Amino acid sequence: MNRKRTRGDCMAPPYLSMIGREKTAPPARSQFHLDLWFSFTVQNWILDFGRPIVMIILPLEWFPLNKPSAGDYFHMAYNVITPFLLLKLIERSSTTLPRTAVYLSIITFVMGASIHLVGDSINHRLILSGYQLHLSVRDNPIIKDLNPPSLIDSFELLYYYDEHLGHSMWYVPFFLILFLYFTGCFTQSKEEKMPHSGWLLLGPSALYYWYLVTEGQIFVLYVFTFFAMAATVMRQKRKGYVLDSNGRFLLYNFIITLVLVIVWVVYLWNDTILRKKYPGIIYVPEPWSYYTLHIKGS
């Protein structure tokens, strides 16, 4: 005798009934980090670009040469605020980034920026005493006649700490963190567009990076980072991923910066005096060298 199957018998177990009915939720659109990008841009222009300007504008009596200047305090604030913003940027990454690399980069960044703080502080005091940035250390009128001559070696060591070691320990981890963050700026959802606020911020941000690349003499580092970003985009595109709005903001920054650097180099290509100071294969004059050569004395 066949027993009639009840409705309850026909019901599949809950975990089986869900098979084939689950739908993967579409990935959420990433949020454009306007607050962080705006904070980066404002503090870069004020605390980094504005640092030497405020030292020139403010009366010397307010900040004696044997005391920290207003620009030094700007640099101290930059050394605190920028690592904080970088850490906040990493926190908002959609992927988990290698913490060891991030921590070591932040530590090295702070150390390099602090080395640069000391060297740059003394360097700007030398400018007030007649030091000319478009000349080498030994060719400067206030340096070449120093006695004993070994003092010149000390100033060259200071220049090395300021322009080479300090910049390397400052900018290498900075661009490494930006690149690590960039690797997490990809999504499988439909292509995201930058908001209008991002486009408005792009100009001032890219202009600052032009200043950073030229004044910091880090064109090679910048180009390597840009190529790494471009290679990452092509690699992820083959996997079906596209850049989100934050990744686009970073990439467009680098593209516009490259154009500005090329225009700057072409403009000063035939400057024989600057050519003497930058004799290498890569010729990228510093804006402040241009200022002391063509603007300050005019």
What digits encode the pLDDT tens for the residues 31-71?
A: 899 999 999 999 999 999 998 888 888 887 888 888 888 98
Tell me: pLDDT of 4 over 90.
no
- Is 13 within a domain? no
Pairing of strands 186-187, 242-243: antiparallel
Helix 70-91, helix 34-43: angle, nearest 10: 160
262-277 pLDDT, tens digit per residue, is 999 999 999 988 988 8
**pLDDT confidence of 7, banded at 50, 70, 90?**
very low
- Is 2 within a domain? no
Query: Which residue, chain included where needed, has tokens 């991923």?
Result: 241
User: Which residues make beta-bridge pairs with 242?
Assistant: 187
In this prediction, residue 22 carries a pLDDT of 36
User: Which residues make beta-bridge pairs with 186?
Assistant: 243
Helix locations, the chain, DSSP H: 7-10, 14-17, 34-43, 50-57, 70-91, 99-128, 141-144, 150-160, 166-183, 196-215, 219-238, 245-267, 272-277, 287-290
In this prediction, residue 123 carries a pLDDT of 81
Tell me: pLDDT of 191 over 80.
no
CA distance 164 to 157: 10
- Is 35 within a domain? yes
Q: Give the count of domains, the chain.
A: 1
In this prediction, residue 193 carries a pLDDT of 85
- Is 4 within a domain? no
Tell me: pLDDT of 174 over 90.
yes
Domain extent at residue 275:
31-184+205-295
Mean pLDDT of 104-130: 88
- Is 191 within a domain? no
- Is 15 within a domain? no
Lowest mean pLDDT: which of 83-92, 127-136, 149-158, 165-174? Answer: 127-136
- The larger pLDDT score, comparing residue 28 to residue 297, is at 297
CA angle 196, 199, 200 (to 5 degrees): 90
- Is 198 within a domain? no
- Is 14 within a domain? no
pTM of the model: 0.82
Residues with Cβ within 8 Å of residue 213, at least 6 apart in sequence: 219, 222, 257, 261, 284
62-72 pLDDT, tens digit per residue, is 888 888 889 89
Tell me: pLDDT of 281 over 90.
no
CA distance 222 to 99: 23
Tell me: pLDDT of 11 over 60.
no
